[in-house]
Amino acid sequence: MTSWGGLFFFSTNFLISSQPLTEVLNLSYMNLSTQPYKGARDFYPQDMRVRNYIFGVWRDVCKSYGYEEYDGPFLESFELYAAKSGEELVNEQLYSFEDRGGRKVAIRPEMTPTLARMVAGQFKTLPQPIRWFSIPNLWRYEKPQRGRLREHFQLNVDIFGVDGIEADFEIVSIAIDIMKKFGADESMFEIRVGNRRLLNDVFGQFGISAEQGVRVLKALDKRSKVSSEDFAQLLKDDAKISDGQIGQVEEFIKNPQPVIESLLKTSKGAQEVDGLLKFAKENRKDKFIKYDPTITRGLDYYTGNVFEQYDLNPKNTRSMYGGGRYDDLVEIFGGQKLSGVGFGMGDVTFLNFLEDWNLLPKFEAEVEYFVTIWPSENAAEAGRFQKIALEVSEKLRAMGKNVEVWLEKDTKIEKQLKFADRKGVQNVILIGEEELKNNTIAVKNMSSGKQSNRPLEEFLAGLK
Amino acid sequence: MTSWGGLFFFSTNFLISSQPLTEVLNLSYMNLSTQPYKGARDFYPQDMRVRNYIFGVWRDVCKSYGYEEYDGPFLESFELYAAKSGEELVNEQLYSFEDRGGRKVAIRPEMTPTLARMVAGQFKTLPQPIRWFSIPNLWRYEKPQRGRLREHFQLNVDIFGVDGIEADFEIVSIAIDIMKKFGADESMFEIRVGNRRLLNDVFGQFGISAEQGVRVLKALDKRSKVSSEDFAQLLKDDAKISDGQIGQVEEFIKNPQPVIESLLKTSKGAQEVDGLLKFAKENRKDKFIKYDPTITRGLDYYTGNVFEQYDLNPKNTRSMYGGGRYDDLVEIFGGQKLSGVGFGMGDVTFLNFLEDWNLLPKFEAEVEYFVTIWPSENAAEAGRFQKIALEVSEKLRAMGKNVEVWLEKDTKIEKQLKFADRKGVQNVILIGEEELKNNTIAVKNMSSGKQSNRPLEEFLAGLK
């Protein structure tokens, strides 16, 4: 219940007048749906456990690399996202509105603008490199579908202040370590690296103009979704490049290495891609990473290597999420240049991946002991049974155990055991007349059905 | 970086044309403030640690009582909060707007409506009692001040399906255990219990009418903020009760016990208050709890005992948060009756409390090892130093350690040590020429300045 005063501020009359609350209320309230808002999720305890498990692994891996957790507010000023006015996505997907003071605000649709704002705010005092991560809840107005809701949580991992490809490598390594920590291996996922600077130079080498290059990029982006005939047609009709150039582009896609090597001396993009792949090989991560010219990423703040992680599920090969290098973003914000590399891993897609590959563990009950209250029709006796049950529960908690206790007196023991069973609690404690007299407790294991009686103090000492 | 495609979707031209990103962008972006939205907080890593520490203790205590974590969406339908149309708080403080599909939505200002919706949704399949907790971020349009921002996180702890005062006691016990876990004792805080049904019956006994009673309630709510003269004046002018009744009310406030006892046979409210206090005494929690007739709580969904926790800081005695019993709320929602008791503990007020009483621990660096890269002007050698540093880091991570590694080659060792020092890392690993040759590592303790050289494998084995 809230500490803020409260919205359900009905007239205080109803309590004084003993008028039932239901009558005081507007009746339309009775017809409210129990469903959440479209495209958003309720996390019932069974869902929350999965969420906490995933977030826990994410956190552990990030911390193992020295990344520190941060968070920003759920609402930001609209301007933070409206960098380029008339922006299509801002206009179609952003949840934005005017607050009661006339400020235009938006619900964060991604974390990077907040991150850039915060880094710019403490730029001068933070030791570099800055290694940060966050798991914000983000919103976009989308048509809900598998893997895409209106809200999701997204692990954001970013490093600032390292210009070399070592930073690209570390960011990719964190992504790989996360996958491994969940039990995924190289047969299940793959990191595909792209680089637009490299593509630009490759196009230059093929004699493709800047204007045509933009069209080729767009065709490449659709490469995995269309047939190779349609792809060639796109290059011909849309990009208007020659048959010879189409052949060069297709050959480059099939076997990019010779072209990359021929550009190593002149192309920064070629150096970046080649550098990352070689560094990954030297450090035994090459089996997870490959160059893929069709990876271009939609986000135009990327300035160097970009990457997307692909689910290799043969039934549904697909991009799970992506990231890359963005060396100009903080500069845009605060006027100072600071290179950044990072990725954003969404929980909806991620959960689909874990479910599809059967990588989710079975979750045990978090409650370790269920303490029953021995029933009695004698009120004084029932009170004593209740008191000892609460006392034992408190002692178990003091030992660091998670303990659920039945609360009401004189409930049939079968009903209490059934509750413990439905909750999946392994150990049930029973303190009846004999136990109360002898200062012992009975512990029943719900799987084996076995029951053991021991002095209470001995039992507690055994938990240390 | 986002996996959703991206809002910063500038023309792809800029990369092809090598036009700098800064020029492509609208220049107004350059002038954006690095401050968060008014009344909202940025959680830089140092703030996030405090937040995670507090949430961690909250979670541990809730789990120790068998409570399961849940969460609902940040956005809910407006109707969920608009139970009573024309509601003052809904109209003044709620963040609400129309989504792009014309649905009226609101940012959750409190958790209880979501909780009631979710419980109503799975009412039939959940074993009772239902014990749930959550730590949602909540928003209200307020004038920001100490202890009150536009957003806060709030621990919500609720139990459903127990009609007896045992549930009230458990909820209060959890609140007390949380305080104790942070090191607070009975000299620092107190739980004050109120009950409007009891007040109603007390007023009846004094011959105060229902209409007058509402006014007396309002005066009681102001009791702690006005002088006793002004309080008497309020009762006289506003509630229009007689001098004799004013005397009775004041005597009741001073010494409520005799009146409560005289009503035990007839007043459910008296039974509830007396029951809780006696139960608390039997179970050794009475030093934290007392009855206070001025506690009435603003939220009108409460039906039984309510309580507020007071900070006993002599410089600033104040209510920190509250809760109570609300037996009709789920019924209103889903048509089925289900009793509930719970509280909501806000993080802003809570943090103020911990700071005022000096109860926050000092936080150690989460990074356990900082691994340097030995500098060398010889590129091949520098590469070897870098490789071994990354390799040792990976091995330490595999042992469950949090390890930050310098990434760039040929950085002066002093600069690397200074970075480790600023980050507060205790152990710094150095692998120079000798170490590389002998397969050893040097570990420097940053507090003592002592350095020890050991074979790498021996060092790793020692970590097990």
DSSP characters for A303-361?
-SEEEEEEE--TT--EEEEEEEE-TTHHHHHHSS---EEEEEEEHHHHHHHHHHTT-PP
**Quick one: three-class SS letters along B174-230?**
HHHHHHHHCCCCCCCEEEEEEEHHHHHHHHHHCCCCHHHHHHHHHHHHHHHHCCHHH
pTM of the model: 0.92
Chain B contact for A324 (CB, 8 A cutoff): yes
- Contact assignment for B14 to A105 by CB distance below 8 Å: no
Q: Which of A203, A227, A205 is nearest to A215 (CA)?
A: A203
Shortest Cα distance from B120 to chain A (angstroms)? 7
The C-alpha atoms of residue B2 and residue A152 are separated, in whole angstroms, by 11
Chain B: residue whose CA lies nearest to A108: B7
Contact pairs from chain A to chain B, CB under 8 Å: 458
Among B75-89, B190-204, B366-380, which is the least confidently predicted range?
A: B75-89
User: Per-residue pLDDT averaged across B416-438, rounded?
Assistant: 96
Chain A: residue whose CA lies nearest to B105: A37
Q: Which residue has the tokens 């690095």?
A: B34
Give contacts of B117 with chain A, Cβ < 8 Å.
32, 34, 36
- Contact assignment for A42 to B404 by CB distance below 8 Å: no
Q: Which of A183, A181, A148 is nearest to A348 (CA)?
A: A148
**Does A395 score more than 90 pLDDT?**
yes
**pLDDT score, position A127:** 94
- Contact assignment for A110 to B151 by CB distance below 8 Å: no
**pLDDT score, position B70:** 98
Chain A contact for B121 (CB, 8 A cutoff): yes
**Does A3 score more than 60 pLDDT?**
no
Q: Which amino acid is at A245?
A: Q
Among A52-56, A274-278, B137-141, B213-217, which is the least confidently predicted range?
A: B213-217
Shortest Cα distance from B403 to chain A (angstroms)? 5
Chain A contact for B304 (CB, 8 A cutoff): no
Give contacts of B206 with chain A, Cβ < 8 Å.
none
Q: How confident is the model at residue B217 (pLDDT cuts 50, 70, 90)?
A: confident
**pLDDT score, position A29:** 47
First to last CA, chain A: 36
- Contact assignment for B109 to A42 by CB distance below 8 Å: no
- Contact assignment for B300 to A132 by CB distance below 8 Å: no
The C-alpha atoms of residue B317 and residue B188 are separated, in whole angstroms, by 10
**Does B336 score more than 90 pLDDT?**
no
Can you give the residue ranges of every domain in chain A?
45-72+108-356, 369-463
ipTM score assigned to the predicted complex: 0.91
Give contacts of A165 with chain B, Cβ < 8 Å.
none
Chain A segment 190-229 residues within 8 A of B by beta carbon are: 196-197, 200, 210, 213-214, 217-218
B369-463 CATH fold? Rossmann fold (3.40.50)
**pLDDT score, position A300:** 62
Give contacts of B65 with chain A, Cβ < 8 Å.
397, 402-404
Chain B contact for A151 (CB, 8 A cutoff): yes
Q: How confident is the model at residue A15 (pLDDT cuts 50, 70, 90)?
A: very low
Chain B contact for A2 (CB, 8 A cutoff): yes
Chain B contact for A5 (CB, 8 A cutoff): yes
Q: Which of A78, A89, A48, A105 is nearest to B107 (CA)?
A: A105
Q: Which amino acid is at B146?
A: R
Q: What tokens appear for A270 in the block?
A: 């070629």
- Contact assignment for A127 to B423 by CB distance below 8 Å: yes
Q: DSSP letter at B91? A: H
- Contact assignment for B217 to A154 by CB distance below 8 Å: no
- Contact assignment for A303 to B214 by CB distance below 8 Å: no
**pLDDT score, position B451:** 94
- Contact assignment for A121 to B34 by CB distance below 8 Å: yes
Q: Which residue has the tokens 């019956």?
A: B201
Chain A segment 325-344 residues within 8 A of B by beta carbon are: 326, 328, 331-335, 342-344
Per-residue pLDDT reduced to its tens digit, A324-355: 998 877 777 766 789 999 999 999 999 999 99
- Contact assignment for B44 to A321 by CB distance below 8 Å: no
Q: How confident is the model at residue A370 (pLDDT cuts 50, 70, 90)?
A: very high
Chain A contact for B62 (CB, 8 A cutoff): no
φ, ψ at B416 (rounded to 5°):
-65, -40
- Contact assignment for A4 to B36 by CB distance below 8 Å: no
φ, ψ at B43 (rounded to 5°):
-105, 90
User: Per-residue pLDDT averaged across A14-31, rounded?
Assistant: 43
**Average pLDDT of the residues of chain A:** 89
**Does B247 score more than 70 pLDDT?**
yes
Chain A contact for B63 (CB, 8 A cutoff): yes
CATH fit for domain B45-72+108-356, picks 3.40.50.300, 3.30.930.10, 3.80.10.10, 3.30.160.60: 3.30.930.10
Nearest to A9 among B41, B89, B282 (CB): B89
Q: How confident is the model at residue B369 (pLDDT cuts 50, 70, 90)?
A: very high
Chain A contact for B102 (CB, 8 A cutoff): no
Decide if A45-72+108-356 and A369-463 have a common fold: no
**pLDDT score, position B317:** 84
Give contacts of B9 with chain A, Cβ < 8 Å.
84, 87-89, 298-300
Q: How confident is the model at residue B88 (pLDDT cuts 50, 70, 90)?
A: low
Give contacts of B319 with chain A, Cβ < 8 Å.
3
Chain B contact for A236 (CB, 8 A cutoff): no
Per-residue pLDDT reduced to its tens digit, A155-164: 999 999 999 9
**Average pLDDT of the residues of chain B:** 89
**pLDDT score, position B90:** 82
| Helix, strand and coil percent figures for chain B, each rounded to 5 | 45, 20, 40
Per-residue pLDDT reduced to its tens digit, B12-38: 333 333 444 444 444 344 567 889 999
**Does A28 score more than 80 pLDDT?**
no
Element of type H or E holding A370: strand A369-371
**pLDDT score, position A337:** 84
Chain A contact for B31 (CB, 8 A cutoff): no
